[in-house]
């Protein structure tokens, strides 16, 4: 009986040890360049990106074959800048600008679901491409500038609420976004990470203008 208990305890310890080797937890922090893509023809122009940041925690499960599944939670700042043509025709017979400058800046929470593969490049060097999807929810708008045509001064606005200036109008941006993500991760000494990635949203953040989000990221991380 004693031998059976000892054998069971050893078997359980081995299983727990093996499990500890396949589950990994980590932290990351980095910068991003975010903006909008698409937009209704002849309405949106002058798109440019904004620099932001992100921090978060990571969890992954790696099989012996090298196949891995990863998720986590990130808090990130994103935004973008663009200009909007008016729906009205000016005295010259051509469209005029309604908003020469529209800026957005959001603080959001994001959860990704990714699958990847570990390629060993050396004794302590791994290269891991990841693909997957993400869901993001805007927690709040960090008020930024908007400028209406024929106005010299900019105004602060909350892009999660409607903006009205005379007969000019901007509809509130959506809080929810979802899309695809692709990353390449370089891991050194099994713990230190350098990651570069791209995210492309599928949800129109502004149905009024047909704008979707895109983000380029570079991050440093650590796996425990």
- Pairwise CA distance, residues 144 & 79, whole Å: 10
Cα 224 from Cα 218, distance rounded (Å): 20
Q: Is residue 14 part of a domain?
A: no
Q: Is residue 137 part of a domain?
A: yes
Q: Model pTM?
A: 0.85
Tens of pLDDT along 166-199? 889 999 999 999 999 999 999 999 899 999 999 9
Looking at the domain assignment, is residue 2 inside a domain?
no
The whole domain housing 112 covers: 22-223
Q: Which pair of tokens denotes residue 189? A: 């000494």
CATH of the domain at 57: 2.40.160.20
Q: Within a domain: residue 12?
A: no
What is the number of domains present in the chain? 1
> Which tens digits make up the pLDDT trace of 43-75?
999 999 999 999 999 999 999 899 999 999 999
Q: Is residue 151 part of a domain?
A: yes
pLDDT along the chain (224 residues), means of 10: 46 44 91 95 92 97 94 98 79 70 97 96 95 98 93 93 92 97 96 98 96 98 96
């Amino acid at each position: 009986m004693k031998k059976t208990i000892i054998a069971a305890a050893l078997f359980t310890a081995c299983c727990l040890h093996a499990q500890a080797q396949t589950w990994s937890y980590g932290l990351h922090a980095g910068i991003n360049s975010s903006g909008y893509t698409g937009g209704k023809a002849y309405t949106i122009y002058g798109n440019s990106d904004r620099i932001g940041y992100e921090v978060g925690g990571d969890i992954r499960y790696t099989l012996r074959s090298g196949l891995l599944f990863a998720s986590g939670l990130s808090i990130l700042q994103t935004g973008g800048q663009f200009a909007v043509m008016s729906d009205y025709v000016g005295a010259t017979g051509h469209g005029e600008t309604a908003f020469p400058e529209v800026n957005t800046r959001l603080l959001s929470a994001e959860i990704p679901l990714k699958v990847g593969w570990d390629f060993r490049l050396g004794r302590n060097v791994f290269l891991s491409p990841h693909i997957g999807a993400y869901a993001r929810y805007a927690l709040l708008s960090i008020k930024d500038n908007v400028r209406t045509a024929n106005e010299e001064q900019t105004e602060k606005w909350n892009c999660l609420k409607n903006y009205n200036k005379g007969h000019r109008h901007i509809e509130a941006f959506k809080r929810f976004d979802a899309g695809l993500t692709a990353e390449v991760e370089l891991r050194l000494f099994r713990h230190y990470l350098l990651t570069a990635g791209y995210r492309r949203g599928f949800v129109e953040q502004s149905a009024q203008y047909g704008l979707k989000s895109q983000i380029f990221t570079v991050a440093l991380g650590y796996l425990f």
